[in-house]
C-alpha cells in the first residue's frame, strides 16, 4: 500500500471514529414514546390517525421519534407491569389508550408525561385535577362514554318506544362500568324504564351472557364502551344479530362489524388528537397546561344491511338523523 493510500485510509477511519459518537448522540436524543393499550396488535386502525396527529407536530416514526408498543390483549391485569417497563426504560412520554391503561400509567409514574384516551371522567378517576388545568403529568382526551349512554337509551326508545326493559352488557372489571351504569340508570328512571345488567369480561362470558339474554327474551340491548368489547366487537355484533334484538353500540367500529347501530365519538379522531398532544409535549409544552379535550361531534351510524337481515324497520326520523348509513 502506498504512503498516500495509507494516509487516505487513516483519515477515513479517523472520520468514521469521530462520526460514531455523533451518531450515538443523535440516536440517544431521539424521543421514545411508549404506547400502552388495553387492545391487541391487530387493532391497527388506531395507529394511522395517531401518526397523522404526530406528523402535524413534525414527528415521523423512525425519523425523529421512536415508538414502543405494549398490548394487553384485553387482559387488564397485565397493564401495571407493562407500564412499569416503560418507566424503567425510561421513555420520554406514555400514551395510554383506554381507562385501564391510563390508570396503570398514572400509578407507574408521576413524572413521565402521559397522554390518555379514556371514556370515564378523568377528574373523578384521579387522572387530572380538572379538565382545564390538569395540574400534573397527565392530560389527554375524554370520550364522554358515560353521558353518551343516556343518548343511546333515547335512540333505543325512539326505535321501539313501547318496548319494556333495556338489557345492558358491561364488563364488571372495567373502570368504565360503574359510571356507565349510573348514567344509563339515571335516564332510565326519568323514563320509568328498567335496566337489566349483564356482565362479561372474557370471550366465554360473552357467549354465556348472550345465552342468558336469549333466555330472557330482551326487547332492546345496549352494549357498554369497554375496550375489551371493542376488541371483541365481531363476536358481539354476530351474537347480537343472531339474537335478533335491536342493539346500540358505542362506536362506529361495531356498526362496521355488523352491529345494528352505534352512537358515540370518533375513535380515529381521538387518536389523531392524542398524536397532536404528544407532539406538543415533545416540543416543550407541559401536560399540566394542556386542557383535557372533549369531543364536540358525535356520530350516529346505522347498518341498514343488518336491519334488513333481521327484518327490522328503522323509523324514518331516526334514519334521517344518521350521520352514516351502511347499506
My answer on whether 43 and 191 are in the same domain is no
Please state the domain count of the chain. 2
Q: Are both 310 and 193 inside the same structural domain?
A: yes
Query: Mean pLDDT of successive 10-residue segments in the chain (327 residues)?
Result: 42 37 48 94 78 96 96 94 97 96 97 96 95 97 87 92 90 91 90 92 96 90 94 95 94 96 94 97 97 94 95 93 95
d(CA 236, CA 160): 21
In a domain, 104, yes or no: yes
Q: Looking at the structure, tell me whether residues 154 and 137 fall in a common domain.
A: no
The predicted pLDDT at position 144 comes to 83
5 phi-psi bin (left φ>0, alpha ψ -120 to 50, beta other) = alpha
C-alpha 101/C-alpha 63 separation (Å) is 27
Q: Are residues 199 and 99 in the same domain?
A: no
- What is the SS3 assignment for 261? strand
The dihedral built from the CA positions of residue 13, 14, 16 and 17, taken in this order, carries a sign that is positive
- We report the CATH number of the domain holding residue 152 as 3.40.50.2300
- The confidence score (pLDDT) of residue 105 equals 98
Domain membership flag for residue 209: yes
pLDDT of residue 17: 36
Residue 244 C-alpha cell reads as 335478533
Same domain, 138 and 79: yes
- Per the structure, the complete domain to which residue 127 belongs is given by 31-143+267-289
The answer to whether residue 86 is domain-embedded is yes
Q: Are residues 313 and 184 in the same domain?
A: yes
CA distances from 152 to 61, 222, 279, 290 (A): 38, 7, 34, 30
The answer to the question of residue 285 being in a domain is yes
Contact indicator for 224, 170 with CB cutoff of 8 Å: yes
Is residue 225 a part of any domain in this protein? yes
Do both 258 and 312 map to the same domain?
Answer: yes
For the whole model, what pTM was predicted? 0.87
| Together in a domain, 275 and 312 | no
What's the confidence (pLDDT) of residue 20?
34
Amino acid at each position: 500500500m502506498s504512503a498516500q493510500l495509507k494516509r487516505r485510509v487513516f483519515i477515513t477511519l479517523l472520520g468514521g471514529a469521530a462520526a460514531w459518537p455523533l451518531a450515538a448522540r443523535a440516536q440517544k436524543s431521539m424521543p421514545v414514546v411508549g404506547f400502552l393499550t388495553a387492545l391487541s396488535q391487530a387493532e391497527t386502525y388506531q395507529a394511522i390517525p395517531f401518526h397523522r396527529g404526530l406528523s402535524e407536530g413534525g414527528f415521523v416514526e423512525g425519523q425523529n421519534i421512536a415508538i414502543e408498543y405494549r398490548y394487553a390483549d384485553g387482559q387488564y391485569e397485565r397493564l401495571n407491569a407493562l407500564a412499569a417497563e416503560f418507566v424503567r426504560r425510561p421513555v420520554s412520554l406514555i400514551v395510554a389508550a383506554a381507562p385501564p391503561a391510563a390508570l396503570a400509567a398514572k400509578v407507574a409514574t408521576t413524572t413521565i408525561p402521559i397522554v390518555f384516551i379514556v371514556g370515564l371522567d378523568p377528574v373523578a378517576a384521579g387522572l387530572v385535577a380538572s379538565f382545564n388545568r390538569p395540574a400534573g403529568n397527565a392530560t389527554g382526551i375524554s370520550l364522554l362514554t358515560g353521558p353518551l349512554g343516556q343518548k343511546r337509551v333515547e335512540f333505543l326508545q325512539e326505535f321501539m318506544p313501547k318496548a319494556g326493559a333495556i338489557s345492558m352488557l358491561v364488563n364488571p372489571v372495567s373502570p368504565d362500568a360503574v359510571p356507565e351504569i349510573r348514567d344509563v340508570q339515571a335516564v332510565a328512571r326519568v323514563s320509568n324504564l328498567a335496566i337489566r345488567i349483564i356482565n362479561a369480561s372474557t370471550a366465554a362470558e360473552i357467549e354465556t351472557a348472550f345465552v342468558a339474554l336469549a333466555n330472557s327474551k330482551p326487547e332492546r340491548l345496549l352494549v357498554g364502551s369497554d375496550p375489551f368489547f371493542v376488541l371483541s366487537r365481531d363476536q358481539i355484533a354476530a351474537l347480537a344479530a343472531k339474537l335478533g334484538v335491536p342493539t346500540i353500540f358505542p362506536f362506529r367500529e361495531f356498526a362496521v362489524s355488523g352491529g345494528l347501530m352505534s352512537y358515540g365519538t370518533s375513535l380515529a379522531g381521538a387518536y389523531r388528537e392524542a398524536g397532536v398532544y404528544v407532539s406538543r409535549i415533545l416540543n416543550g409544552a407541559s401536560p399540566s397546561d394542556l386542557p383535557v379535550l372533549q369531543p364536540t361531534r358525535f356520530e350516529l351510524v346505522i347498518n341498514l344491511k343488518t336491519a334488513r337481515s333481521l327484518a327490522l324497520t328503522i323509523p324514518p326520523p331516526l334514519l334521517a338523523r344518521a350521520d352514516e348509513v351502511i347499506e
